[in-house]
Amino acid sequence: MLVTDLDGTLLGGETDERLSFYSWLRRERQRVLHVFCTGRSLNSIKGLLREQRPMGLQAPHLVISDVGCTVACGTSLQPLPEMLVPIEALWRGKRRKLAPLLKDVPGLSPQPVSTDRRLGYTYQPERFDPALIPRLERHGVDCLLSGERYFDVLPAGVNKGSTLRLLLEWIGIDDGRVVTAGDSLNDLAMFETGLAGIMVANAEAALRSLLPRLPRTYGARAQGCAGIVEGLHHFGFGHLFD
């Protein structure tokens, strides 16, 4: 199972490297279970797949979207209700409770995309006051800053890593057959699962500085798709490219 973040990771790298990696994914579709694991919403993924069709990027088998708050079938993009029950339960009533704290905050703007079971914002690092974070987290949520741009409010304990763990348990895949890849701070939870992880070379500086603390994560020298390929070789999956 290959679990890839999208922006900067599966969508990163030179055009020729991306074309060849997407064509490999199509060819190996019966052997490689591909999961998108992204901060984007299902709607945004739908648009992206349409946009990327000329590049040959096909729909994955499964999708973890909304930074771990949604799990869906990759081809239909229909959410998988059994996976959402525990996340829904943690999120119930949160939006209403947090609304007064999140009203007219300097340096914070709601993301234009629709979001489920979380709140998504963009923030301006020079204007946003991080003192808001503990005040929000008191209400049973986690706040996640990434890419020096994104500010997500998630149900406490829910992230890309926790939802990937739930998914692996649900499908019944051994840890040794899973590789993850990412480039930003919202991928840290994936790298902290202890599964094999690939940090692509274009990863944000704040994430790269944590590499020494992530024993199962490989720091690739190449960017985006080329970094994923390099990492798959590193973890002993090079035969899949023969």
Which residue ranges make up the site for Mg ion (CB under 5 A)? 5, 7-8, 183-184
* CB 5 to Mg ion: min, Å: 4
Contact 179, 237 (CB under 8 A): yes
Determine the residue with CB nearest Mg ion. Answer: 8
Reduce the DSSP state of residue 199 to 3 states and report it: strand
Q: Are 179 and 1 in contact (CB under 8 A)?
A: yes
Find the helix packing angle between 81-91 and 160-171, rounded to 10°. 150
Rounded Cα–Cα distance for residues 44 and 31 (Å): 27
What's the min distance (Å) between Cβ of 120 and Mg ion? 14
Nearer to Mg ion, 102 or 113 (CB): 113
Question: Strand 150-155 to strand 179-182: parallel, antiparallel, or no bridges (unpaired)?
Answer: unpaired
Cβ proximity to Mg ion, 5 vs 192, nearer residue: 5
**Among residues 9 and 162, whose Cβ is nearest to Mg ion?**
9
| Nearer residue to Mg ion within complex by CB, 195 or 203 | 203
With respect to Mg ion, which residue has the nearer C-beta, 66 or 183? Answer: 183
Rounded CA separation 205/218 (Å): 15
Rounded Cα distance, 137 and 155, in Å: 9
CA angle 16, 21, 23 (to 5 degrees): 95
Q: Whose Cβ is closer to Mg ion: residue 11's or residue 153's?
A: 11
- Phi and psi dihedrals of 208, rounded to 5? -60, -35
CB of 184 to Mg ion, least distance (A): 4
Nearest approach, Cβ of residue 181 and Mg ion (Å) = 10
Least distance in angstroms from the C-beta of 164 to Mg ion: 15
The two three-digit tokens of residue 142, written as one number: 């986690």
Q: How far is the CB of 7 from Mg ion (least distance, A)?
A: 4
Closest alpha carbon to 64 in 142, 11, 2: 2
